Amino acid sequence: QSFLDELAQAIGKDPIDFRIDLLKKAKANPVGKNNEYDAARYMGVLELVKEKSKWTATPKGTHRGVAAYFCHNSYAAHVVDVTMKGGQPVIDKVVSVLDCGIVVNPDAAKNMVEGAVIDGIGNCLFGGLKFDKGVVTQQNLNQYRMIRMKEAPKKIDVHFVQNGIDPTGLGEPPFPPIFAALANALYKATGKRFYHQPFINELNKKA
């Protein structure tokens, strides 16, 4: 997903429009007969997250990143808004869109997405394990950095694509793309690509 952002930047394309253009080509000229993903549904979450985040009207001083993902027959997209204070990222808002078919329990589904967003941000900013002779050195939470309440996004705005498709996965799909969306936002904020977790180490690394 960061690679897609790099490609979009290299050719001067908006990163969401670039992804949608690629999916349009995949829909028009599919490779093989049994693709696992539906290009139209993949485009759908990108188009809706663009609309709901007001992507083209980025607030002044805000740095935005986007990413989308497919797994467990579901589609997820996030837009992350970051501001920098004292050289540290503040996640002001995350807009999330999920296409997981019919949503049976809207409140529980929303909670699952919110949990994936917060846990994903905590993991990519702070999470990291070290090993000594095959044994994890962090034996308890006082040695493993977790996200704190003040570091969670100020707002998480969750939307579901409305369709009549049978319910599909929801626990896993929103988790992976939050990593890339945050990495892309941090690139906008710092001019540096983030590939190695935890990102906080890269942010605090002296030039």
Segment 61-77, tens digit of pLDDT: 999 999 999 999 999 99
Give yes or no for residue 122 having a pLDDT over 60: yes
Please list, in sequence order, all residues whose beta carbon lies within 8 angstroms of the beta carbon of residue 149, skipping any fewer than 6 positions away.
Answer: none
Q: How confident is the model at residue 166 (pLDDT cuts 50, 70, 90)?
A: very high
Greater confidence (2 vs 148) lies with: 148
Give 11-42 pLDDT, tens digit per residue. 999 999 999 999 999 999 888 777 789 999 99
With a cut of 70, say whether residue 167 has pLDDT above it: yes
Split at pLDDT 50, 70, 90, the class of 206 is low
State how far the Cα of 130 lies from the Cα of 104, in Å rounded to an integer.
40
Q: Taking all residues of the chain, what is their mean pLDDT, rounded to a whole number?
A: 93
Alpha-carbon distance of 48 to 97, in angstroms, equals 7
pTM: 0.93
Structural contact between residues 82 and 88, judged by C-beta atoms closer than 8 angstroms:
no
pLDDT digits (tens, 9 = 90+) for 40-64: 999 999 999 999 999 999 999 999 9
What is the spatial distance between Cα 2 and Cα 75, in angstroms, rounded to a whole number? Answer: 18
Mapping DSSP to helix (H, G, I), strand (E, B) and coil, where does residue 78 land?
Answer: strand
